[in-house]
Amino acid sequence: MTSIETLMRDSNPMMDPSTEFSEEEIRAFDLLVLTRSGNVEVQERTKPVEPEKTHRRGWLVAAAAFAVVIVVIGAAMFLANPADDVPPATTPPTTQAVIPTTQAVTPTTEAAPTTTAAAVQTDDALSAEQTQFIDDFFAAFNSSEYEGVAGEYSTFLGFFAEDAVFSTSMLADTGMDVYRGELAYYRAMNTEWSVVSCSDEFGLIRCQVDASVDSISHYQDPFRIGITLKVEDGAVTKLLLADNIPVVVPALESFHEWASETYPGSRSQMELGDGSPNRSEESIALWVKLVAEYRATLDG
Amino acid sequence: MSRNANDRFEALYRAHSLDVLGYCARRTSHEDAKDAASEVFMVALRRIDDVPEGDMTLPWLYTVAKNLMSNRNRSSRRRLRLAAKVADDTDHTVPGPEPQVVRNSEYERLIAALEKLSDKDREILRLVEWEGLSREQVAEMFFVSRAAIDQRISRAYKRLSRTLGVPQRETGTTPVPMEQGGDA
């Protein structure tokens, strides 16, 4: 019997858009985007002409040429058989092609403000205040001074509201108490975060961060993770950390191999059944001890 | 627009135009899909420097599409409600776009059952099963953990399974449909 998962997948109303849209429909879509995007550029083309720009957008020019051909043919047919109730066009066909272009942009411009604020922001760069906040936030993390009350920005937890929610690859929407265990794990692993870039998107601060972790850094460069923060009234109310699991898990295996050989049975104390780190006090102490020894072994 | 931005937009469009078109077409008519998808790319064009690279590009485009389309649906529902009021039509419910494209009654029942899920659960299921996004990508889109997405999908499937009387792959058991007295 078909499972619900299979049924769900098979109910996809459009398995493959490339075959389910006709060539004409796809061409019409290309033209729609062309005209709308072309209009955005029209404003720039009032500047001195830059011939090479035409070459860069060769695909658009080709589509534009196609559009003009269609319009010319359409105009010729129209002029040959004008509708009784429509006056003949008095403007050249090429002008007609431009008119819908201009009109087409209007709803686009109007539609954007009615979406969430995020989708319409035209400038997502962080403000100076946000930049300072983020710099201090990551500096506090890297200093390993974690404990602090809300508003105490020299400490990492001081950046968070008391009822902040934390989500990571292993934690689903937990509170600060549970997250403390995660922080202890980071400290045990000598984790450092280096900000690559941040933007203010969809009302959230999204950062690309290079993470360096002692137990695996001898095998590879820092790996990229994503950290998203919701900041309200000067405090982080939600943190989402998107780990780089495909990189982290295999890299950690080298550490676990060493640990299993040196301290048989250690892994069962350091990890839970689902492979996530055991954040109990005893386990964290073991992580600290073994990571330090492992590091020394590699350094030595 | 700089050459770099121009090139990026062109590459973005080439790589994802059909994906975005497909996303929109799964949620509305072909004609509206083209219009909505083109709006998505206009937002991308204006914000090309903010479009994330790599695995998060497509989820970003889908998020824009989702926002644009929910807004359109709201407007459309408002218009239809108004028209219904004028016509003194007491049935103000507006069918979703999916029934226009379902292929048979089995899928129709599933689509009807999907409509009974929360908006978020329904969208998560569709993103994973129809759009083919990974659960990590969806987690990032919804600003929740991967574990939270797993929980939502599992819960949604359980509910669909009970509603339709179709077994889940993991359990292999056939639940009693709710309309026949199964658990709610």
From edge to edge, which strands make up the β-sheet containing A235-242? A160-167, A235-242, A223-232, A204-212, A192-201
Question: Cα torsion at B67, B68, B71, B72 (round to 10°)?
Answer: -150
Compare CB distances from A111 to B52, B68, B160 and report the shortest one's residue: B68
Chain A residues within an 8 Å CB radius of B14: 59
Quote the pLDDT of residue B23.
Answer: 94
Interface test with A, best of B103, B146, B168 (most A CBs within 10 A): B146
Rounded to 10 degrees, the C-alpha dihedral A157/A159/A164/A167 comes to: -70
Which residue stretches of A21-92 are H helix? 23-42, 51-56, 58-80
Give the C-alpha distances (Å, rounded to integers) separating B103 from A14, A15, B109, B162, B174: 10, 12, 11, 22, 24
User: Does the distance separating the beta carbons of A56 and B3 come in below 8 Å?
Assistant: yes
Q: Is the dihedral of CA A143, A147, A153, A159 positive or negative?
A: positive
What is the per-residue pLDDT for B158? 93
> Quick check: helix, strand or coil at residue A236?
strand
Residues A58, A43: Cα–Cα separation, whole Å = 19
- In chain A, the percentage of residues whose pLDDT exceeds 90 is 9
Q: Are A294 and A215 in contact (CB under 8 A)?
A: yes
Size (chain B), residues: 184
- Please state the rounded mean pLDDT for residues A284-290: 85
Q: Are strands A235-242 and A204-212 parallel, antiparallel or unpaired?
A: unpaired
Cα of B163 to nearest chain A Cα, Å:
10
Mark the ranges of chain B whose per-residue pLDDT is less than 50: 89-103, 172, 178-184
**Domain layout of chain B by residue ranges:** 1-95, 102-184
CATH number, domain B1-95? 1.10.1740.10
**Geometric angle at alpha carbon B78, from B77 and B82, rounded to 5°:** 115
Tens-digit pLDDT profile for residues A116-166:
223 333 346 888 889 999 999 999 999 878 888 777 888 899 999 999 998
Specify the higher pLDDT residue, B160 or A60.
B160
What tokens appear for A9 in the block?
């997948």
Dihedral-angle region of residue A229 (phi above 0 means left; psi in -120 to 50 means alpha; beta otherwise): beta
The one-letter amino acid code at A1 reads M
What's the alpha-carbon Rg for chain A, to the nearest Å? 29
Distance (Å, whole) CA B18 – CA A214: 43
Q: Do domains B1-95 and B102-184 have the same CATH topology?
A: no
Average pLDDT of chain A, as a whole number: 69
As for the ipTM of the complex, it is 0.74
Question: What pLDDT does residue A245 have?
Answer: 66
Residue A39: per-residue pLDDT: 52
Q: CA B9, CA A41: separation in Å to the nearest integer? A: 13
Count CB-CB contacts under 10 A for residue A200. 18
Q: d(Cα A182, Cα A276) in Å, to the nearest integer? A: 10
Question: Lowest-pLDDT range, A20-34, A57-71, A79-93, A131-145?
Answer: A79-93
Amino acid B179: pLDDT: 46
Taking an 8 Å cut-off on Cβ atoms, the answer to whether A115 and B67 are in contact is: yes
Q: Are strands A235-242 and A223-232 parallel, antiparallel or unpaired?
A: antiparallel
Minimal Cβ distance to B50: which of A40, A199, A228: A199
Q: Grade residue A81 by pLDDT with cuts at 50, 70 and 90.
A: very low
Q: How far is A296 from chain B (nearest CA, A)?
A: 34
For residue B183, give both structure tokens: 């658990």
pLDDT exceeds cutoff 50 at A211 = yes
Whole-number pLDDT of residue A50: 40
In this structure, which topology does domain B102-184 adopt according to CATH?
Answer: Arc Repressor Mutant, subunit A (1.10.10)
* Percent of chain A topping pLDDT 70: 62
Which residue in A254, A119, A225 sits closest to B36, CA to CA? A119
Highest mean pLDDT among A96-105, A176-185, B2-11, B121-130: B121-130
The pLDDT confidence band at residue A217, using thresholds 50, 70 and 90, is low
Average pLDDT value for residue range A158-187: 84
